[in-house]
Chain A
Amino acid sequence: MGIALHAIEGRSPGYWGLLGALGALTALGLAGAWYMEHHGHVVTGMTNQIVWGVPHVFAVFLIVAASGALNVASIASVFGRTFYKPLAPLSGLLAIALLAGGLMVLVLDLGRADRLVVAMTHFNFKSIFAWNIFLYTGFFALVAVYLWAMLERRMNRYAAAVGFGAFVWRLVLTTGTGSIFGFLVARAAYDSALLAPLFIALSFSYGLAAFLIVLLAAYGWTGRELGAAVLARLKNLQIVFVAAALYFVAVYHLTNLYLAKQGAYVRFILVDGGVYPLAFWGGQVLLGSLVPMALLAHPRLGATRGAIAVAATLVVLGGLAQMFVTIVGGQAFPLELFPGFAESSTFFDGEAHRYVPSAPELALGVAGIAVAGILVALAVKLVAFLPARLGDPLADSA
């Protein structure tokens, strides 16, 4: 039995209010990017010590979440769980939207954003960044074909094959994103093959959290039926994904703890590095992992939509905290050129680097999320992405 997909009406004041708010955030971000482009990066908090700041925190988070958002579709197509099939188109749409938002932030933070065409025409194939350009554009293309295969009846028979391709692609893509950092041999925080699987685990968690937020919003605000069994399965999956991400984070830090040469870095990031241990323990571990797991696992609270929405939002905020710790914290710890020596210089050698983000770069980062939201809100109005009803019996029989 087929599931009827229907576009949302999208004429209520709430819908236009949402679009207006997201549009305003996007406009603010674009204004911030223009300001940065005009004056140079001197108007950001970024320096020659902290070279990647808040825009990268948002961009990498969104790109990682994008690959994870495709999971619901993958579970349906690749692992044959028909229960998830009605949700698969929304999953693909969200993946594209999140990636677009992330890439927009990444590109607008370039020192020479006007040279995007150079990045598209000059390639150094030894660079993981250059590979990622192909991984990102390929992901757009594959997921677009995947959506077509799912939504067009005559193409349905190809959905499983294309879905499998997209699933493999997304694993490679997140490996590539993790390796942007994993391949940085010189820095204590990176230089680890573990970052690739860690980023894959993070993507499962962030992507599903983003999916849950969109699903709850779309069904709650349109008054469509959303069965408790659908939500129960998704929220249980979210618990597993958060736990898996936490596992990789624990192994990463435990490995570093064992190595004498990493001792100073681990101490910095986990104990005495100021804002970074706070973001790690308070943001990433407590609010971003333990609290959402407890909320979702709670026998009574875990069944309520409010708690699921709060938990998913916390996972997203914890993810941003995690990216802040990984990207900014990793750079704040100074490079050690001469082990065993105390170093000092006019270029801030040997000291923890300071970073205070400015308003324009924060606005640019937030605009990435807003753009993803706009793309989803417009797409579900223009194209039939969402099942008219997601009642439990219907979902079960799909």
Chain B
Amino acid sequence: MKPVDPTRRQFLAAAGGAVSILTLAPGVLLLAPAHGRAPDQPVTGKVRWGLLIDTTKCAAGCADCVAACNRENGLSGGTRPTDPQWIRKVELKDRRPGRQASLPMMCQHCAQPPCVDVCPTGASFKRADGIVLVDKHICIGCRYCMMACPYKARSLVHEPVTGQSPDVPRGKGTVESCTFCVQRVDRGETPACVEACAAARHGAMVFGDLNDPASEIARRLAAYPSTRVRADLALDPGVRYQGI
């Protein structure tokens, strides 16, 4: 019989203990899960959600993040000019040396969002934690935010929608865009695109709290250079890119 590996036994015991604590502690100690938020608690500005995309790990032609977004948010996945696309893969080719890159583009969740500035009714708004959203109840469908967004991140719902996700209300005639999967983030999870990228072992997307120096995103941004798209506009986007 194969002898028991003591380090393996220790690991299993420690893991079992950790799982028990993580399962029981929230109930006993009223601890919220990491970064999760109880429904009755307000969103605070202590957190600034951000997304880091490592384009060197993002393969041309891979659209796992796009498929996951469509699934999570109940989008058709159609690519007609009238179909909403919350996230899209952009293929880049440097005009001079010809180097190519591929990256996902979506709402950049700016700290100074032009879509919020121009919205006449205040339907376009930014949460305290930096997530930019559209209040579907007061959006009048004027599309001024779509004109103002430098990233072409927003879509108008051009026709009646069916098969909606209960977590993601949508409506014909209103504007919508990436929400960082706010329904998941509020449960302590990561956005669907990030989860799909990690599940497929691409590891090109890191989601986290930009305000927390210990978070992986903050550490990587501190260690390596990154790019803000249309940095000239000084909008302080929450999405950063590496490798372009």
Binding site for B on A (CB under 8 A): 37, 39-42, 47-49, 51-52, 110-113, 115-116, 118-119, 122-124, 126-130, 133, 180, 183-187, 331, 335, 337-338, 340-349, 353-354
Write the B114-134 contact mask toward A (1 if CB under 8 angstroms, else 0): 101111111100000000000
Does B219 sit within 8 A of A, measured CB to CB?
no
Chain B proximity of A108: nearest CB distance (Å): 11
Contact between B91 and A345 (Cβ–Cβ < 8 Å)?
Answer: yes
Smallest distance from the beta carbon of A361 to chain B beta carbons, Å? Answer: 13
Given A48-B81, A48-B146, A346-B85: A186 touches B156 (CB 8 Å cut-off): no
How distant is B106 from chain A, measured CB to nearest CB, in Å? Answer: 10
Verify A338–B92 contact, CB threshold 8 A.
yes
Contact of A42 with B93 in the complex, beta carbons under 8 Å = no
Query: When the two chains form the complex, which single residue of A42, A183, A337 contacts B151, counting CB atoms closer than 8 Å?
Result: A337
Contact indicator B230/A344 (Cβ below 8 Å)? no
Chain B residues with CB below 8 A from A337, complex form: 90, 105, 150-152, 229-230
Contacts of B155 in A (CB 8 A): 48
B157 within 8 Å of A (CB atoms): yes
Measured between alpha carbons, how far is A370 from B121 in the docked complex, in Å? 29
Task: For the complex, give the distance between the alpha carbons of A41 and B141 in Å.
Answer: 10
Majority secondary structure of chain B interface residues (helix, strand, loop or mixed): loop
Contacts of B92 in A (CB 8 A): 338, 341-343
Nearest CB in chain B: distance from A124 CB, A: 4
Say whether B188 faces chain A, with CB atoms less than 8 Å apart.
no
Q: Which of B33-41, B171-179, B201-209 lies on the face that meets chain A?
A: B171-179
B164 at interface by CB-CB < 8 Å: no
Q: Which of A115, A118, A349, A353 contacts B90 (CB 8 A)?
A: A349
Query: Could you name 24 residue pairs across A and B whose Cβ atoms are closer than 8 Å?
Result: A40-B172, A40-B173, A41-B158, A41-B173, A48-B83, A48-B155, A51-B143, A111-B140, A111-B175, A112-B140, A118-B138, A122-B138, A124-B116, A185-B148, A331-B147, A335-B151, A337-B90, A340-B95, A341-B92, A341-B101, A342-B92, A342-B95, A346-B89, A349-B152
B81 touches A348 (CB 8 A): yes
| A144 vs chain B, min Cβ distance (A) | 24
A128 to B150, CA, bound (A): 18
Q: Report B-chain residues with C-beta under 8 Å of the C-beta of A111.
A: 139-143, 156-157, 172-175
Most buried by A among B120, B123, B138, B159: B120
Q: A42-B82, A349-B152 are in contact. Are A123 and B122 (CB under 8 A)?
A: yes
B96 at the interface (CB under 8 A from A): yes
Asked if A41 contacts B122 (CB within 8 A), the reply is no
A347 touches B88 (CB 8 A): yes
A residues less than 8 Å from B162 (CB atoms): none
- Chain B neighbourhood of A52, CB < 8 A: 143, 147
Cα-based distance from A122 to B121 in the complex (angstroms): 5
Say whether, besides A41-B156, A129-B142, A340-B94, A345 and B82 are in contact (CB < 8 Å): no
Does B111 have its Cβ within 8 Å of any Cβ on chain A?
A: no
Q: Which residue of A lies closest to B79 (CB)?
A: A346
Do the beta carbons of A184 and B174 come within 8 Å of each other?
Answer: no
Across the interface, A47 reaches (CB within 8 A) one of B81, B96, B120, namely: B81
Whether the Cβ atoms of B96 and A340 lie closer than 8 Å is yes
Interface residues contributed by chain B, number (CB under 8 Å): 55
* Chain B residues with a Cβ under 8 A of chain A: 79, 81-85, 88-96, 101, 105, 114, 116-123, 138-144, 146-152, 154-160, 172-175, 229-230, 233, 244
* A110 contacts B147, C-beta separation under 8 Å: no
The 3 closest A-B CB pairs, nearest first, are A111-B141, A111-B173, A186-B150
Instruction: Contact check, A129 vs B120: say whether CB atoms are below 8 A apart.
Output: yes
**Chain A residues with CB below 8 A from B140, complex form:** 110-113, 115-116, 118-119
Contacts of A344 in B (CB 8 A): 90-91
Please tell me if the beta carbons of B114 and A185 are within 8 angstroms of each other in the complex: yes
Whole-angstrom distance between the Cβ of B150 and the nearest chain A Cβ:
3
> Out of B88, B143, B144, B230, which one reaches A127, CB within 8 Å?
B144
B-chain residues with CB within 8 Å of residue A180 when the two chains form the complex: 144
Determine the residue in chain A with the shortest Cβ distance to B121.
A122
Indicate if the CB atoms of B120 and A130 lie closer than 8 Å: yes
> Which A residues are CB-close (under 8 A) to B101?
341
Are B118 and A127 in contact, with the CB atoms below 8 A? yes
Q: Which residues of A have CB within 8 Å of B83?
A: 48
Q: How far is the CA of A111 from the CA of B94 in the complex (A)?
A: 38
Which of A48, A126, A349 lies in contact with B117, CB distance below 8 A? A126
B136 closest partner in A (C-beta): A112
State A42–B84 Cα separation when bound (angstroms). 11
B201 to chain A, nearest CB (A): 24
Given A41-B158, A337-B105, A342-B93, A353 contacting B121 (CB threshold 8 A): no
Q: Distance in Å from the Cβ of B59 to the closest Cβ of chain A?
A: 15
In contact, A122 and B81 (Cβ under 8 angstroms)? no
What CA separation (Å) do A119 and B152 show in the bound complex? 24
Is there contact, CB below 8 Å, between B144 and A345?
no
B95 and A183: CB pair below 8 A? Answer: no
A42–B105 Cα distance when bound, in Å, is 24
Contact of A119 with B85 in the complex, beta carbons under 8 Å:
no
Q: Could you tell me the distance between the alpha carbons of A346 and B174 in the complex, rounded to whole angstroms?
A: 21
- A331 to B82 CA separation, bound complex (whole angstroms): 15
Nearest chain B CB to A161's CB is how many angstroms away? 31
Given contacts A116-B140, A129-B118, A341-B94, 13 further A-B contacts (CB under 8 A): A42-B159, A48-B146, A112-B174, A115-B138, A124-B120, A127-B118, A129-B119, A186-B233, A335-B150, A340-B94, A346-B85, A349-B105, A354-B81
Q: Are A112 and B139 in contact (CB under 8 A)?
A: yes
